[in-house]
Amino acid sequence: MEEKLLQLLDGCLKNDRHSQKLLYQEYYNFAMSICLRYTSNQYEASEVLNDGFFKAFMNLSRYDRNRPFKAWLGKIIRNASIDYYRANLKTALLEDLDKAEAVETENLIENKLSYEDLLAMVQTLPHSYRVVFNLYEIDGYTHEEIAEILGISTGTSRSNLCKAKHKLQEMINFKSDKKRKDNYNNLKIVATKKPVTIRFFNKIPGKDEK
């Protein structure tokens, strides 16, 4: 472990505000990237982030220094995101299905997107779909583990994942179609911009000179 990190951790254990601030700044981008995936906007992500760091500082004495700190912090931030989800269950759309819908999900979301584009799309998903998508596709949990974490059935987990993928695919297709239409319209505009020849006459054409 880096000496700088060890010093920061020692300072945080002593409740040194300066050390806490530096540790927060050091891992802000990493932690925020997790929060943004699980929430629908910057405001919610900031709430989860602050709650996550608070829990990290409160439980720092339990951290095993033989393990990577980033992985430990990431788990706490992810758990804070799930806690936020649980606290907002009343507004989340959950359907308790015993079996996932028979939906073909192979070859979905194969389009190459920037991280910013994909993140923006994931943030528009209903909360229940977004959480399952993150846990399964990005964080590597199984449906059985997700069911236990969220208190839902494995069928609901599978169903929400399928629906999340389909909604994302619809957004990707819409974005691709819009891009193609924009390119086509731009081509039409360029194609119509033909050189125009303006003829100037010193005399009125068709009129005989006297």
pTM > 0.85: yes or no: no
Residue 204 in this model has a pLDDT that exceeds 50: no
CB–CB of 126/165 below 8 Å? Answer: no
Tokens 């891009």, located at residue: 179
Token pair 């846990």 in the structure block, residue: 135
Domain boundary assignment for the chain: 3-87, 115-191
- Quote the percentage of the chain above a pLDDT of 90: 52
Residues ≥6 apart with Cβ < 8 Å to 169: 108, 109
Q: Which one, of 102, 125, 18, 9, lies nearest residue 57 by Cα?
A: 9
User: What is the distance between the alpha carbons of residues 201 and 197, in angstroms, rounded to a whole number?
Assistant: 13
pLDDT band at 85 (very low <50, low <70, confident <90, very high): confident
Q: Residue 44: which of 52, 188, 58, 210 has the closest Cα?
A: 52
Topology, domain 115-191: Arc Repressor Mutant, subunit A (1.10.10)
Average pLDDT, the chain: 79
Architecture of domain 3-87: Orthogonal Bundle (1.10)
Summarize pLDDT for 31-48 with one digit per residue, the tens: 999 999 999 899 999 999
pLDDT of residue 155: 94
pLDDT of residue 172: 85
Can you give the pLDDT at residue 179? 64
Indicate the burial class of 136 (C-beta count within 10 angstroms; 0-12, 13-18, 19 or more): buried
